[in-house]
Each structure stands twice: as structure tokens, then as C-alpha cells.
Amino acid sequence: MRERGFRVTPQRMLILDAICEGEEHTSFDEIYERVQSKAPGINQATLYRTLDFLCELRLVVSAEIDGRTVFEIAGETPHHHLVCRRCGAIQELADYHFLELRTHLLREHGFKADINHLAITGLCSQCTQSGT
Ligand SMILES: [Zn+2]
Ligand SMILES: [Zn+2]
């Protein structure tokens, strides 16, 4: 963050830390709880704004999984997820699968897609095998 010339406020640091504490995906409420335990002065509106800001900087990525928004520290390269709508299993999907799609959208549609943290829902292999 510092390298990119943005101000690292203690508040932003605290929120980044709170996301890092999460295993992988952390919900807004979880982040809020962790932040609250350290800095009770930060309210939900501030947290929303800061998360938005961190997402814009691509330091944090968010995704809609199982109807809730989750946050995670962005890695070097984007990654995506396959989310089973029956058992909730989540698999990681590498970014290279989307390179072609991105290029296509840009070339043919002049559309610069924000494909930085996709959650694709469906049925996992186990649930597919178990039928219905
Ligand atoms: Zn993720
Ligand atoms: Zn499943």
C-alpha cells in the first residue's frame, strides 16, 4: 500500500489485519467484530467506506458467495471460486481460464471486464455424482 503512494492510516491497517485474520473469506460482520474489539470507534459506515476503498485499490477483493459478500486480501494474481450451491464446498479456480474471455470482451465488445474475484455457483462433482 505504501509503495503505491497511498496513505496507510492506522484505521486502514487495522481493517486489513482483520481481513488477514480470516481463513480465506471473511464476511463484513466478522471483519466488523474484529475491528470493533480493537477500535470500538469505527462504525459500520466507516468500515463500508474503507472496504470499498481497499477494493478499488485492488488490495482487497470481494465476492458474492451464498448470498453474502465476503472479503479477502488480494493475492499477486486474481483467483476465482467454484461454489457448490448444495453442499457449500468452495474450490479455487486459477485466473488463466479467464484470460481469453477478458481479451475477447475487450476486443469484440470494447468492454474492460472486472474479472478479479468471481464466484461461480453450481454443483460440485460429489453432489453431481450423488444424483438429482
Ligand atoms: Zn477468494
Ligand atoms: Zn456439493
The bridge status of strand 90-94 relative to strand 79-84 is antiparallel
User: Ligand 2 center to residue 72 CA distance, Å?
Assistant: 22
- Which residues surround the ion ligand 1 when the cut-off is CB under 5 Å? 72
What pLDDT, on a 0 to 100 scale, did the predictor assign at position 127? 95
**Residue 76 CA from chain centroid, whole number:** 13
Strand partners, 64: 69
User: Ligand 2 center to residue 125 CA distance, Å?
Assistant: 7
Q: How far apart are CA 21 and CA 33, in angstroms?
A: 12
Tens-digit pLDDT profile for residues 12-68: 889 998 988 877 789 999 999 999 999 998 999 999 999 999 998 888 999 888 888
Kindly report the average pLDDT of the chain as a whole number.
88
User: Ligand 2 center to residue 19 CA distance, Å?
Assistant: 26
In 3-state terms, what secondary structure has residue 57? coil
What pLDDT, on a 0 to 100 scale, did the predictor assign at position 116? 85
